[in-house]
Structure 1
Amino acid sequence: MVEQFVGKWKMTSSDNFDEYMKAVGAGFASRQMANLAKPSLTIALDDQGFISMKAVTTFKTLEIKFKLDEEFDETTADDRKVKTVMSLADGKLFQTQTFSLSLSLSLSLSLSLLFSISVQKCTMDDVVAIRTYEKDA
């Protein structure tokens, strides 16, 4: 079912992302760059069951490769070292990151589809950001 996410996506809107970045502990410079960036996202599935997600901006390119429900190490765009698990449930792709500020915290991101629009919901405690992507033709 992850096949529905495969393809190229372009971000069309981002709401409350600065507050979300503050909540995860991102510094001012990282937040400013993240708020200016309009990432394109490519999601691919290989024949061995690995999924890759590549986010490209004018500032930075990040790529993760994973299997569903298996924990892996990830370095985020703002250089946090996190443990990540990607899972699929109810037609949504969920990303859960665990990291430490002064204690262990967990945040979640979910990616859901509605026709050719993908909505990414980023949650940290009670702070929620919504980023919307459209699938490239």
Structure 2
Amino acid sequence: MGNAATPTVEITLEGDTYAMKTITAFKTTEIKFKLGEEFEETTADGRVVKSTVTLDGNKMTHSQVGDKEKKEKDSVLLREFTDTEMLMECKVDDIVSKRVYKRQD
């Protein structure tokens, strides 16, 4: 079912706080963060991780650190923004998934 969902991602900036909302037919998640500041995030699959987001030009790096006591893995989400799309790559250990989001105006 997850692969059949077509998500919409809304990213907004108010002052120095970003909000990133991911909407699917099954679930909506939202995080709010300031660049470079660690925050607690509940992922779409229910894990609670420590996250940090940085921005370098048009590339956003979102690092998620899992709970080591629960043997959760760390992950990195790389987002690259162009005029027409957002390219996202998610890495966990040596596993990589990629997704392309088309920009809607």
- TM-score surpassing 0.5? yes
| CA shift for structure 1 position 103 | 3.4
Q: Provide runs of 4+ in structure 1 moved above 4 Å.
A: none
Structure whose residues are more often helix by fraction:
1
Q: Who is 1:91 aligned against?
A: 58
What secondary structure, in the 3-state scheme, does the structure 1 residue paired with 2:6 have?
A: coil
Partner of 2:5: 37
Q: Percent identity?
A: 38
Normalised to the residue count of structure 1, the TM-score between the two structures is 0.70
Unmatched runs of 5 consecutive residues or more in structure 2: none
Question: How many residues are matched?
Answer: 104
Taking structure 2 as the reference length, the TM-score comes to 0.90
Which residue of structure 2 aligns with residue 128 of structure 1?
96
Q: Distance in 1 between matches of 2:84 and 2:22?
A: 18
Answer 1 or 2: higher relative contact order, Cα 8 Å, separation at least 6: 1
Deviation, 1:38, is 1.2
Could you say what the CA RMSD is over the residues aligned between the two structures, in angstroms?
1.5
Please, which runs of 5 or more residues in structure 1 have no aligned partner?
A: 1-32
* Residue of structure 1 equivalent to 2:79: 111
SS at match of 1:36: coil
Mapped pair 1:78 → 2:60: no
